[in-house]
Amino acid sequence: MGRGDFFGYSALLANAPSPMSVSAADDLEVLILETDAVQKMLNKSPRFAQQLSAVIAARQSRLKEIDLAQAKSGTLLSSLTE
């Protein structure tokens, strides 16, 4: 992760505990946002909502690509071992 990155958004939007944890290699500043505050920001700022949606969509797309790659390599490995 780098400057301006964030994590835990799915738990925040679902209002559920996050299964994620992060360790920092360097000093950093952390901003903790509560669900109510984020909901207010989403309601007040269509631009913020659009930007957050774009980031989430890009991350989900990347995760699907990784899943597909792993599935293909798993299929390839299983066919090689038969």
- pLDDT per position as a tens digit, 58-74: 988 888 888 888 887 77
Q: Does pLDDT of 14 surpass 50? A: yes
- Tokens for 71? 């599935």
Domain boundaries, given as residue ranges, for the chain: 45-82
Q: Is residue 31 within a helix (H) or strand (E), and if so which, with residue range?
A: none
Coil, strand or helix at 16: coil
**How many CB atoms are located within 10 Å of the residue 61 CB?**
10
Q: Structure pTM?
A: 0.64
User: How crowded is the C-beta side of 62, counted as CA atoms within 13 Å?
Assistant: 6
> What pLDDT does 75 receive?
57
pLDDT tens, position by position, 32-41: 888 889 889 9
